[in-house]
Amino acid sequence: MNFLENKDLIVESKKAGAELVRIYSKKYNKEILWNGDEKFWARRSPVLFPIVGKLKENKTLIEDKIFSMNQHGFARDMNFEIINTTDNSITYKLTSSEETKEVYPYDFNLFITYTINNEKINVKWKIENIDNKEIYFSIGAHPAFNISSSKNLKDYYLEFECRDNVEKIRLENSYYTRPKKIENLYILNLKSKIFENDALIYTNIDSISLKSKKEENYIKVSFKDFPLVGIWTPYYKETNTTAPFICIEPWYGIADNIDSDKIYQNKKYINKLNMGETFVASYDIEII
């Protein structure tokens, strides 16, 4: 594991997937990030690249060739290299290879940087097109935050900061369906049933705070100008319960449309980089 520490936080990450695996608040003596218990979900904060969500039949057509790719892409299962460390930051790098080209034909560099400042963690993504043509990609975050118990989910709520024209996107069998305009999305009280159809997905949100009715401290995830955010926890129909964590997931991409033609560059919210161009985005996790 690789450690960052200041007077407020201990943050751990690893080369496998360049994944955050621990956020500990010294101020509140509290584990903030999910612990990866396999009983519920073995991951903690995977990086989703070069797809977010699921491809139709796990297949996509790129430059007239069919490629197979599992949900959320391959980056979360690859080993990154550490290319830079400072007292308060660490940067990981993944470069395209023969292995990645078996499922994604483009040449790229993907950089993930974690920086701590007081009680805030900044997560920065940088993608470089090092190919001799334009490339297409999606990228997303998937951090999971602890709640005291799944039985206490009703004690928690989400508080939103929104832009204009917020839409809600419903998943049908894990695939994107038509958005619906939402009015007055400020507070969402959490209960198990709202996750029975998979993730909640919204457009034009700038931040989400995960708050408890019984605690003063809370977690705020800020992602200004991101097109999408997903909110998820596993739902167990037999018991009408969830796992003891909530994921707040800023995204530049989404699952295939339910009527997808499987053409990769036609995906909703796909991103394009011309030859030599760079994409940069970042979001913050703050313990308040």
Provide the residue ranges of all domains of the chain, joining segments of one domain with +.
2-287
Residue 199 makes CB contacts below 8 A (sequence gap 6+) with 171, 230, 231, 232, 247, 249
3-class SS of residue 116: strand
Average pLDDT over residues 5-14: 98
Confidence of residue 23 (pLDDT cuts 50, 70, 90): very high
First to last CA, the chain: 26
List pLDDT tens digits, range 74-123: 999 999 999 999 999 999 999 999 999 999 999 999 999 999 999 999 99
pLDDT over 90 at 287, yes or no:
yes
List pLDDT tens digits, range 198-241: 999 999 999 999 999 999 999 999 999 999 999 999 999 999 99
Model pTM above 0.95: yes
169 sits in which H/E element? strand 167-172
Nearest to 176 by CA among 196, 152, 153, 201: 201
pLDDT over 90 at 150, yes or no:
no
Task: Tell me what pLDDT residue 183 has.
Answer: 80
Architecture of the 2-287 domain: Distorted Sandwich (2.70)
- Hey, CA dihedral for 49, 52, 53, 59, is it positive or negative? negative
DSSP one-letter code for 186: S
Nearest to 83 by CA among 128, 25, 21: 128
